[in-house]
Amino acid sequence: MSNIERTLSIIKPDAVERSLDGQIKQIFLSNGFTIVQERKIQIEKSEAEKFYKVHETKPFYNDLCTYLSSGPIVVMVLEKENAILANRELMGSTNPKDAKENTIRKKFGLSIDKNSVHGSDSPENAKIEIDFFFKA
C-alpha cells in the first residue's frame, strides 16, 4: 500500500548563513522528495519557543530558541512515500558526530546544536509543524 506523507523540514540558521540552502534542497529533490511549499523567513524568539515547546524542560531549550530565531531559515513541506522516516534518515543523527556518511547532518552539521536541519518525528507532529508555518 502506498503511504505518501508530508513532513516539515527546516534549513536552520547555520546552514542558511553558509548559503547551503540550495545544496540541501537539491539533496531532497535528488532523493525523491517534492518540495510542496517553501518560505524563507526569520522568526521571533517567542515563535521558536512555541515551535520547540516539547523541549521546554530541557537544559538546552533557551539556547535552542535563541539559535532558531538568530537568522533566516528556510521552512519547507516535503512530500514522498514515508516522508517522515525518509527525511529523518536522510538528515542523520541529532549529533552530527554520530550521523552516518551521506546524511545531511554528517555533511554540513557543525555541532549538536548547529546541526543544519530539522525534520518532523511523527505523523502527529508533522501535521502540527506544517500548520505552524503554513496554515492559511
118 touches ligand IDP (CB under 6 A): yes
Enter the C-alpha cell of residue 102. 551521506
Figure out which of the listed residues 5, 23, 113, 134 binds ligand IDP, where binding follows CB under 6 A.
113
In the sheet with 73-81, reading across from the earlier edge strand, the strands are 34-41, 73-81, 4-11, 117-119
Enter the C-alpha cell of residue 33. 522528495
Figure out which of the listed residues 35, 85, 112, 128 binds ligand IDP, where binding follows CB under 6 A.
112
Longest Cα–Cα distance of the chain, Å, equals 42
Residues 107-136 that bind Mg ion (CB under 5 A): 121
Q: E-assigned strands of 1-136?
A: 4-11, 34-41, 73-81, 117-119
Write the interaction track for ligand IDP spanning residues 35-74; mark x where CB under 6 A is met and - where it is not: --------------------x----x---x----------
Query: What distance in Å separates the CA atoms of residue 31 and residue 62, rounded to the nearest whole number?
Result: 34
Is 118 in the active site? Answer: yes
Smallest distance from the beta carbon of 115 to ligand IDP, in angstroms? 5
Please report, as ranges, the residues that interact with ligand IDP according to CB under 6 A: 55, 60, 64, 94, 112-113, 115, 118, 121
* Interaction site with Mg ion (CB under 5 A): 121
